[in-house]
Structure 1
């Protein structure tokens, strides 16, 4: 009973902390305003290390649901963020077995996986949907340029986060 209650409370706290950290985001110059660098993955790393895979997925979904309800009110960013976080945590869980070097290898593989997955998802689904929602035809006309010089560099922010956290 105690362990279950402890997991629920810690998951909720980490989701709220992740939501707060997502508010402190830095816009990337010369790119659309929805491409931002934030630190909201750090509580997910902590949740993964303490609670495990399933609870971390719950933290991610809860954080993005709260972000959608309270802050953004448009589904594209929340959907993209859930996809990124689930891919990242899934790749990390395959490699991480309580050893630092496997954590780093898992982080590198996860970063490459989200870069590839989000490049495809942004090109074919998310950016056209975002362009349609905000009625911005320039966005949909320059998808290849935006994915190459916007999505891919922003995806590599995840590569630096795990090496800064303690395992």
Structure 2
């Protein structure tokens, strides 16, 4: 990679990291799901970066985003760690799959498989990281009660995972995958467009 190309890539990556960080602060609750779960689309710039620049570049953007978010964390860093594990896994898988099947079908396959990984890692992160953290702040019964007030089917932590966390991350994966799929081709032409070379000046005094 030439120096100019490297600088362009780093500039775009910094821009994507900034956009992703801002989007993480814009959250929206979903009806019939626990109040702790709020949807944001900060993963879309990360997936776009995985397709445009590569999987590890996308992981770097995810790390920057979550480190910045640590400055205003309300979970002692546990929420940011869970977010990093989920989105980094999603981006790594999507980036590598799309690299080997570099077409529209490959994009759809990678985003679909990546969504499954997002759901799985999200369930594990909640079970082993987020729930133990929140259980130190409020009793498990209170957590279940708050969820049951929204959805009566959530009567245990296991039900919270299956009825709340899994559908939530499935919706999240579909939303950011759809945004990535719709925006990628338009951004690809812009990001990878090569600047036109300056016309060569002809020195007429040397012409014979």
Aligning the two structures, in what range does the TM-score lie when normalised by the shorter sequence? 0.7 to 0.9
**Alpha-carbon displacement from aligned partner over 1:76-106 (angstroms, at most 9, x marks no partner):** 2101110111110122123213211111111
Counterpart mapping for 1:8-87 below 5 A: 8-29=10-31, 31-70=33-72, 72=74, 74-87=76-89
Which residue matches 2:127? 123
- Residues 113 and 73 of structure 1: CA distance in aligned 2, closer, same or farther (over 3 Å): closer
TM-score under structure 2 length normalisation: 0.71
Cα pair 1:76 1:130 within 8 Å, conserved: no
Higher share of residues assigned helix? 1
Would you say the 8 A contact 1:31–1:150 is kept in 2?
yes
1:16 Cα shift?
A: 1.2
Kindly tell me the number of residue pairs found equivalent between the two proteins. Answer: 166
Cα 1:91/1:153, change in 2 over 3 Å: same
Aligned to 1:39, what secondary structure does the other structure show?
coil
The structure number with the bigger radius of gyration is 2
**Deviation at residue 5 of structure 1 after TM alignment:** 2.3
Higher relative contact order, chain-length normalized (CA < 8 Å, sep 6+) = 2
Distance in 1 (alpha carbons) for counterparts of 2:11 and 2:139? 41
What RMSD, in angstroms, separates the aligned Cα atoms of the two structures?
2.1
Please report how far the alpha carbon of residue 110 of structure 1 lies from its aligned counterpart in structure 2 after TM superposition: 1.1
Contact kept, 8 Å, 2:50 with 2:92, in 1: the verdict is: no
Q: 2:168 aligns to what? A: 154
Unaligned stretches of 5+ in structure 2?
145-154, 186-208
SS at match of 1:74: coil
CA distance in 2, matches of 1:34, 1:67: 17
The aligned counterpart of 1:143 is 157
Would you say the 8 A contact 1:18–1:63 is kept in 2?
yes
TM normalised by structure 1 equals 0.87
Give the drift of 1:35.
Answer: 1.1
User: In 2, distance between residues paired with 1:12 and 1:72?
Assistant: 25
Tell me which moved more, 48-57 or 29-38: 29-38
Deviations 1:59-92 (A, max 9, x none): 0000011011145463121011101111101221
